[in-house]
């Protein structure tokens, strides 16, 4: 199979983890006789510095002309004081919008050899397997007006949370479709006791549910959901929610896996290329030190192989290789504990590659 992959490393650890993930994809291509063609584009802070904009047109064109996109992370202190349109994050939001990537899937799976790395109790997280489905191109991230102004000597600010029924329906439908191939339960997370947008969200969830009689739908207020994720995470199968709620809940849920550095994601549109990226950011505090955990990005490439290329076996091989490496005790600093082997980014990548070769040799 021949596929063209747009690669947007971004800023900070983005460059380190993407370099590792590309090595992994190259080995998969070699072992399983595929051709992956990688073409690089700039996004975020680096693009601001070189092109004067966080999302150059060349990057949009490259992405649209690719079969899938691999993204690292954007942002850093260097650009934090920039005007809103010249922030790295604006480029990320713009590429999501431009490509219609409305469905952000963030799988949260406890890996048994890692349950001790979590700050939570082993019995709480053992066996956790849930999927956060985050609406990604609407809601409070994109509503207008967004403004600040002076009024009577006060700083007035406005952010707007807006949705159309179509935007809500398609993301909820996605959640139900995923539930059908998982454990047939959808938890729709909202703030319907306060927000009008949430009341309409709830209405639409009830309507969509009628098309999926086998799936159980429950509604949960977002503050309670945040607590339940820590109290009893095994109650969840698919959680579907508004853009910002999903952003917050997914970082929280990452701790069920042991680290934010383990959480992969896929951002999907109705019919264009999917974008695959770790849920975490550019981690300026550890950038350039060969310390970052590359596994979230490597696991994102497994999602790419499965969701965009239908290469199920190859995706499974990457996941299995990651499991084996963790079982052998290799740990980047974010997941290290006593009696484990402290491992750099590049060593971790090498270990994963070795396991992939072993698995493919044995087949
Ligand atoms: P962050 O996710 O970058 O880091 C939060 C904490 O987790 C840090 O202590 C970091 O060292 C750690 N961490 C994150 N990923 C890790 C990994 N792979 N391995 C080991 N440790 C890891 O969030 P932040 O510090 O709030 O934000 C930093 C910058 O990243 C900001 O500019 C923010 O806007 C940006 N950001 C970008 C994305 C993205 O591109 N998708 C996502 C989140 C944040
Ligand atoms: C994420 C990030 C982004 C978001 C930021 C960097 C705009 O936190 O991908 O989760 O909030 O969507
Ligand atoms: Mn986030």
DSSP 318-356: HHHHHHHHHHTTEE-GGG--TTSEE--HHHHHHHHHHHH
Ligand 3 midpoint to CA 265 (Å): 11
Mean pLDDT on 69-86: 98
Shared domain check, 187 and 148: yes
pLDDT surpasses 90 at 208? yes
pLDDT surpasses 90 at 158? yes
Omega into 78 within 30° of 0, i.e. cis? Answer: no
pLDDT surpasses 90 at 116? no
Question: Domain end: 229, 262, 295, which one?
Answer: 262
Shared domain check, 324 and 216: no
Shortest CA distance to 21 belongs to which of 69, 61, 65? 69
Ligand 3 midpoint to CA 53 (Å): 21
Number of domains in the chain: 2
- Compute the C-alpha angle 185/191/197, nearest 5°: 100
pLDDT surpasses 90 at 314? yes
Shared domain check, 348 and 304: yes
Give the separation between CA 62 and CA 77, rounded to whole angstroms. Answer: 27
* H helix runs in the chain, sequence order: 13-31, 45-51, 57-64, 88-98, 122-125, 165-180, 196-209, 222-231, 243-254, 295-307, 312-327, 345-362
ipTM above 0.95, yes or no: yes
Question: Domain end: 214, 247, 262, which one?
Answer: 262
* H helix runs in 52-195, sequence order: 57-64, 88-98, 122-125, 165-180
Q: Which of 20-34, 110-124, 300-314 has the lowest mean pLDDT?
A: 110-124
- Please give the number of the atom of ligand 1 that sits closest to the Cα of 294: 18
Q: Which of 79-83, 114-118, 337-341 has the lowest mean pLDDT?
A: 114-118
pLDDT of amino acid 336 = 96
Ligand 3 midpoint to CA 280 (Å): 6
Shared domain check, 9 and 97: yes
Shared domain check, 223 and 94: no
Maximum distance among all Cα pairs of the chain, rounded to whole angstroms:
74
Shared domain check, 175 and 54: no
Shared domain check, 276 and 158: no
Question: Domain end: 200, 235, 262, which one?
Answer: 262
Whether 72 and 18 have beta carbons less than 8 Å apart is answered as yes
Mean pLDDT on 7-30: 98
Q: Is the CB of 253 under 6 A from ligand 1?
A: no
Shared domain check, 31 and 92: yes
Give the separation between CA 309 and CA 311, rounded to whole angstroms. Answer: 5
Shared domain check, 197 and 327: no
Give the separation between CA 34 and CA 36, rounded to whole angstroms. Answer: 6
Ligand 1 site-directed mutation target among 282, 286, 288, 291, most atoms within 8 Å of CB: 282
* Full residue range of the structural domain in which residue 344 is found: 1-102+269-363
**Ligand with smallest separation from the Cα of 97:** 2
Residue 328 half-sphere exposure toward CB, CA atoms < 13 A? 13
Shared domain check, 138 and 242: yes
Shared domain check, 24 and 44: yes
- From the number of C-beta atoms within 10 Å of its C-beta (0-12, 13-18, 19+), residue 83 rates as exposed
Shared domain check, 307 and 202: no
CATH number at residue 96: 3.40.718.10
Shortest CA distance to 186 belongs to which of 149, 213, 146? 213
DSSP state of 73: E
Ligand 2 site-directed mutation target among 84, 93, 253, 264, most atoms within 8 Å of CB: 93
pLDDT of amino acid 363 = 85
């Amino acid at each position: 199979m021949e596929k063209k992959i747009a690669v947007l490393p971004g800023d900070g650890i983005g460059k380190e983890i993407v370099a590792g993930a590309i090595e992994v994809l190259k080995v998969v291509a070699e072992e399983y006789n595929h051709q992956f063609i990688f073409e690089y584009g700039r996004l975020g802070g680096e693009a601001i510095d070189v092109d004067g904009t966080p999302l150059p047109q060349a990057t949009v064109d490259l992405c649209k002309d690719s079969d899938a996109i691999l993204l690292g992370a954007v942002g850093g202190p260097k650009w934090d004081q920039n005007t809103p349109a010249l922030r790295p994050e604006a480029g990320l939001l713009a590429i999501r919008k431009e490509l219609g990537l409305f469905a952000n899937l963030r799988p949260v799976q406890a890996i048994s050899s890692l349950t001790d790395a979590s700050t939570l109790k082993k019995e709480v997280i053992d066996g956790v397997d849930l999927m956060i489905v985050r609406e990604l191109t609407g809601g409070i991230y994109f509503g207008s007006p967004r403004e600040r102004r002076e009024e009577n000597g006060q700083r007035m600010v406005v952010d707007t949370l807006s949705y159309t029924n179509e935007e809500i329906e398609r993301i909820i439908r996605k959640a139900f479709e995923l539930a059908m191939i998982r454990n047939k339960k959808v938890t729709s997370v909202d703030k319907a006791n306060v927000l009008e947008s949430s009341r309409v969200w709830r209405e639409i969830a009830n309507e969509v549910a009628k098309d999926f009689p086998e799936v159980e739908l429950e509604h949960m207020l977002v503050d309670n959901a945040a607590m339940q994720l820590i109290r009893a995470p095994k109650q969840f199968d698919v959680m579907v929610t508004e853009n910002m709620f999903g952003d917050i809940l997914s970082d929280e849920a990452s701790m069920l896996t042991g680290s934010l550095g383990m959480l992969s994601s896929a951002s999907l549109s109705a019919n264009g290329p999917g974008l695959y990226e770790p849920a975490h950011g550019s981690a300026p505090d550890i950038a350039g030190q060969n310390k970052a955990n590359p596994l979230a990005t490597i696991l994102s490439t497994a999602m790419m192989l499965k969701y965009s290329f239908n290469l199920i076996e190859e995706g499974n091989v990457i996941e299995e290789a990651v499991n084996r490496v963790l079982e052998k005790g290799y740990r980047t600093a974010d997941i290290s504990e006593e009696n484990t082997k402290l491992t750099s980014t590049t060593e971790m990548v090498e270990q994963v590659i070795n396991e992939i070769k072993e698995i493919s040799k044995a087949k």
